[in-house]
Amino acid sequence: MADSKLTSLATNTAPLGTDLAYIVDDPTGTAASQKVTFANLGKGLDAGVIPNTPAGDIAATNVQAAIDELDTEKLSTIAGLAPDTQNTYARTQYLMPYASSTTAMGEVAIGTATQVLTSNGAGAAPTFQAAGGGGFEQLASDPGSPSLGDSWFNTTDNLFKGVVLGSGTWSSGGALATARYRLAGCGTQSAGLSFGGWISAVTEEYNGTSWSAGGALATASGKLAGCGTQAAGLSFGGYNGGILAVTEEYNGTSWSSGGNLGTAMYEFAGCGTQSSGLSFGGTGPTAATEEYNGTSWSAGGNLGTARFGLAGCGTQSAGLSFGGNDVAATAVTEEYNGTSWSSGGALATARYQLAGCGTQSSGLSFGGNSSSAVTEGYNGTSWSSGGALATGRNDLAGCGTQSSGLSFGGTGPTAVTEEYTAPATAKTFTLT
């Protein structure tokens, strides 16, 4: 190999461990020219003189100092946990560690048998504490005036007890001034509103004892639906020789026009308020649902089962539909959450042309095809029998609550009105 200047040699940017380098051994003593492989060259380097660029939590400016800094961090004691001889953390069996700060750890003291880990709120460590009491209060005797929903354990009788809705009864109310069927209604037992019928514009107001004339509908119709209150009612759809999309709003005195349904409909149901109404089902049968905002209707989530001649109750965001006819009387119940319908507990007796009132978690269904007198109460999960109507009817209307309902009108036509009362009753029950 001819002599060359070092600067004239080709550059090797990726030397291998077996490549050779020229070195002068012991330059301050007996100097000698030698060769060395790159693999052995690093053995003589001092990490303390190799520069390091500080980054992250490492402040060292040379490699050796950086290594020492990492070792110190690795071996340091996390506050509250002593290191053992193997440089791992000493552990107390069954303890529970927790972050006592953003940089330190702590330990939750071990509790005793039957205690439970309990949060002490933000800014405080959890601790083991005695378990809280169950949902039943223990009493030697029943309370004097329990409320609906109260429950307790009677230690004298050794029985679980609670206040549930007792089986209600229907009693006669004041008759409608005008006998009607296929009408609609809304309001409460002491402030009810009836309107329309086959085919009528009549409106009547109930005061808990008798009916009196209210302002007539602008458009007479039957098989319509409604919702709201006596002073703020909503009437929509129906039939008077043609299928109607008309909507009217009642102010306690007279009716005025509201926004039309998106699809004209009859033999359907409704619930909610004048400014937040819900219509669903109808002749077809259809699964269509529409929502009213006080001005206009828009499409909602479809029923799971298309039906006509059904009933409903509740609100626009918590509606309940039940019964109806798809190809025959059905027991289907569905619950609306403001967006979509989901299955609920089926009626014990399949019916259509029935009426209802109440809420999604406390509904009441009554009457139905073939002049049914059946009454059922819904608890948010399932239906159970209530007291039968004194006069079985179909194509009737209703309003009120599960414990204070009102039924009126029906096939005949009839002017019959009945009031439902379901007292809260203390009953014993067994947990399973």
- pLDDT tens digit string along 315-365? 999 999 999 999 999 999 999 999 999 999 999 999 999 999 999 999 999
How far is 388 from 367, CA to CA, in rounded Å?
9
Q: Taking the domains of the chain in order of start, what are their residue ranges? A: 135-165, 169-423
Closest CA to 156 of 170, 171, 130, 138: 138
Residue 80's pLDDT is 46
Angle made by CA atoms 392, 172, 345, in degrees to the nearest 5 = 50
Q: How far is residue 376's CA from residue 85's CA, in Å, rounded to a whole number?
A: 74
CATH for 169-423?
2.120.10.80
- What burial class does residue 1 get, using C-beta atoms within 10 Å of its C-beta: 0-12 exposed, 13-18 middle, 19+ buried? exposed
pLDDT at 257: 98
Which tokens go with 19? 């490549």
pLDDT at 260: 98
Joined together, the tokens standing for residue 51 give 């520069």
Q: Is the per-residue pLDDT at 366 higher than 60?
A: yes
Max Cα separation, the chain?
131
Is the pTM of the predicted complex or chain greater than 0.85? no
**Radius of gyration of the chain measured on its C-alpha atoms:** 41
Q: What percent of the chain has pLDDT over 90?
A: 58
Report the alpha-carbon distance of residue 6 to residue 21 in Å, rounded.
12
CA 151 to chain centre: 25
* Contact between 337 and 289 (Cβ < 8 Å): no
